[in-house]
Structure 1
Amino acid sequence: LKRANAPGNVLLEVGEANLPEKSVVNISQIFTVNKSQLKEKIGTVSELRVCQIIQGVQLVIEPRE
């Protein structure tokens, strides 16, 4: 949770997407995972959270002036 306030990161509260504890989407450490490595679906984030995550990713990938 130390990185929750970093630019672009998104804090997920207890219960969001069935998470048992607060969690942080750390947009600076995004990587791909093969679907075969996933075991079970835990939950789904809301449309609002998806938008916040996309905005965070855009901070990382868009060129700065």
Structure 2
Amino acid sequence: MKVFTDSPLLIHLNTVADPNTRTMYENFYISDRYKPYTDVLVLDELLYASKKKYGIPYKTTTS
């Protein structure tokens, strides 16, 4: 099943500090059951919100 991945989920995953929690979310949302897709504007919002609201550097977000 195809699912659209919007920026709130990606921003949340970008701000999770605990590796176990992050892995749990990634395994649930990015699994073989789903084929996630997104849009360039969502990625732009991810970069902007991560830097502006949470102070996460662009390099960390894009890696």
Higher CA-based Rg: 1
Highest relative contact order (Cα 8 Å, sep 6+), 1 or 2?
2
Same fold (TM over 0.5): no
Higher helix share: 2
TM-score, with structure 1 as normaliser? 0.40
TM-score, with structure 2 as normaliser? 0.41
